[in-house]
Amino acid sequence: MLTQVAEGVLNHRSELLQNNTVVVQGTAGVLLIDAGITGDEMTCLANDLRELGQPVVAGFSTHPDWDHVLWHAELGEAPRYGTARCAAYLRDLRSNPDWKVRAAEALPPEIADETPLDLFGLITGLPAETTQIPWDGPEVRIIEHPAHAQGHAALLIEERGVLAAGDMLSDLFVPMPNFEEAADPVEDYVAGLLVLEGVADDVDFVIPGHGSVGGADQARTRIELDRAYMHALRDGRAPDDPRIGPSAKPGWEWVSDIHAGNVQQLANRSERDGTPG
């Protein structure tokens, strides 16, 4: 089901991981940001758009994680964009003969049989100097930044004051730094938050990759919450964070496992690099 966030900006949320698909209405159709995760959900989205008389004219993936690069034939054959680094990562992945097996292994078992992979990761990389989505609609600024994943970008729909934050600024998930590729995952994440902070005054609504839409006050609140979490992680302190521990949202207590994984990953890197843990 589509819900309105701001004028010309709608949201479609998946059930399992609370993924948000952002729909931006343009002159001839819509821009889809992170299309969804199951075949049924993407078909539902396509049907909703058909009822509105709004074909998909462009897509954008905020980063190359599996749940942000899926697509369904019902959504049509519009160009699907991402940053150059996001597209390069996906090209490399798809160049492996067993790429589909590897992608399937990342899927939660609850939806493994419901998630179509044929159109997985078919992203056109935009040149590094590109600052706007190339489409006939409201200006959508590309804000690439280090933090969660290679080539991660938030999108600012400037005329509507909406920030589609990708896998940042969630009210459900604690930060997940890029331990795989970043030279300094913690400082990279903090740097990414600083980039988002630079546009916070222009934001009336923030839509995270997972979780609930936040109002104008939430952009800075969530940035500060994530920064406090990263500082606690860096310093080896237990974070005072409402997303984990006794105050976690009912049904999402398992997010504490993400935190435990972050602690272990940071300890492993410290041991490997010979730096203090």
Region class of 34: left (phi > 0), else alpha (psi between -120 and 50), else beta: left
| Rounded average pLDDT over 126-152 | 95
For the cut 60, the answer to whether the pLDDT of residue 277 exceeds it is: no
% of the chain residues with pLDDT over 90: 93
Torsion of CA 241, 14, 62, 130, to 10 degrees: -130
pLDDT for the residue 259? 97
Tell me the CATH number at 63: 3.60.15.10
> What's the total number of domains in the chain?
1
Average pLDDT over residues 238-242: 95
Q: Domain range holding 264?
A: 2-273
Say which DSSP state 35 is in: -
Rounded mean pLDDT of 48-54? 95
The conformation of residue 202, written as its DSSP 8-state character, comes to G
Q: What is the mean pLDDT of residues 38-43?
A: 96
Give 127 or 275, the one with higher predicted confidence: 127
3-state secondary structure of 250: coil
Q: How confident is the model at residue 71 (pLDDT cuts 50, 70, 90)?
A: very high
**Averaged pLDDT for residues 14-34:** 96
Instruction: Tell me the three-class secondary structure of 69-125, residue by residue.
Output: CCCCHHHCCCCEEEEHHHHHHHHHHHCCCCHHHHHHHCCCHHHCCCCCCCCCCCCEE
Confidence of residue 271 (pLDDT cuts 50, 70, 90): confident
Query: The sheet that has 153-157: what strands, in order across it?
Result: 140-144, 153-157, 162-164, 205-207
Confidence of residue 272 (pLDDT cuts 50, 70, 90): confident
Position 275 scores a pLDDT of 59
Q: Which residues contact 8 (CB under 8 A, 6 or more apart)?
A: 24, 25, 138, 160
pLDDT of 200 higher than 60: yes
Question: Where is pLDDT greater, at 270 or 84?
Answer: 84
Q: What is the pLDDT of residue 202?
A: 94
C-alpha distance across the termini of the chain, in Å: 45
pLDDT at 28 over 90: yes
